[in-house]
């Protein structure tokens, strides 16, 4: 692996009907939204493991017990970890705390961006390896699809309007306040709303 001292963390929800990709249920139905979520999880795992950049961990919500996660562990050889915390920010902060306790740097991605590439992941790890404090992969909807840290920064995960179009701007402002060195990747789309579904047809097999 190119960056054995790093960790690549994939955040994923269990594909439970009615709880996965809820904003797509009006367009796809509960079963269709859950099935798309499964496909997106597999796509993210293929991307992460085939890149062979760093050890890959699958961070599972609400826990690691769903059969889908066991299948992913068997298929891709990834470690399973439980997301812990009341909101996304707390869960990411906890995951970074754990990962950075045993590695020099770590990157978190979700499963919603079929635009994310192996080159993006490599650029993120390269920047962290070169000494950058933080890497962000902006999403075109005002969030981000990737965040990487070379040291804990809990302030990035509190008082953020998760799920809104203000997440990226709020995070950039927090980084500036903290004086952390930032590198940004090219913006990428994610699939959250019915109008995003054209990307699923183009990018996810």
Q: Is 141 left (phi over 0), alpha (psi -120 to 50) or beta?
A: alpha
Domain segments of the chain as ranges: 6-199
CATH 3.30.450.40 given to domain 6-199: no
Say what the pTM is.
0.96
3-state class (DSSP) for residue 39: helix
Cα 45 to the center of its chain, rounded Å: 11
CA torsion, points 196, 201, 204, 205, in degrees to nearest 10?
Answer: 160
- pLDDT, tens digit, for every residue of 161-197? 999 999 999 999 999 999 999 999 999 999 988 888 8
Strand 105-109 relative to strand 144-149, pairing: antiparallel
- pLDDT, tens digit, for every residue of 52-96? 999 999 999 999 999 999 999 999 999 999 999 999 999 999 999
3-state class (DSSP) for residue 118: helix
Q: What is the mean pLDDT of residues 139-158?
A: 97
| Cα separation, 127 vs 190, whole angstroms | 23
**Beta-bridge mates of residue 10:** 58, 109
Q: What is the mean pLDDT of residues 131-140?
A: 98
| Cα separation, 34 vs 54, whole angstroms | 28
| Cα separation, 139 vs 111, whole angstroms | 13
Q: What are phi and psi of 49, to 5 degrees?
A: -80, -35
Q: Which residue has the higher pLDDT, 196 or 42?
A: 42
């Amino acid at each position: 692996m190119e960056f054995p001292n790093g960790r690549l963390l994939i955040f994923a929800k269990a594909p439970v009907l009615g709880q996965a990709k809820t904003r797509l249920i009006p367009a796809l139905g509960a079963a269709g939204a859950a099935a798309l979520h499964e496909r997106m999880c597999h796509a993210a795992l293929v991307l992460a493991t085939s890149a062979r950049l760093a050890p890959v961990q699958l961070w599972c919500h609400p826990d690691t017990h769903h059969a889908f996660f066991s299948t992913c562990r068997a298929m891709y050889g990834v470690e399973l970890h439980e997301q812990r915390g009341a909101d996304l920010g707390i869960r990411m902060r906890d995951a970074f705390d754990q990962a950075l306790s045993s590695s020099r740097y770590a990157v978190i991605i979700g499963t919603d961006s079929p635009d994310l590439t192996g080159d993006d992941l490599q650029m993120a790890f390269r920047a962290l390896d070169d000494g950058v404090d933080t890497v962000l992969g902006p999403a075109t909807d005002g969030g981000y699809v990737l965040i990487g840290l070379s040291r804990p920064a809990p302030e990035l995960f509190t008082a953020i309007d998760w799920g809104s179009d203000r997440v990226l701007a709020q995070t950039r402002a927090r980084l500036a306040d903290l004086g952390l060195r930032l590198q940004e990747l090219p913006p990428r789309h994610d699939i959250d709303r019915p109008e995003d579904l054209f990307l699923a047809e183009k990018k996810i097999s």
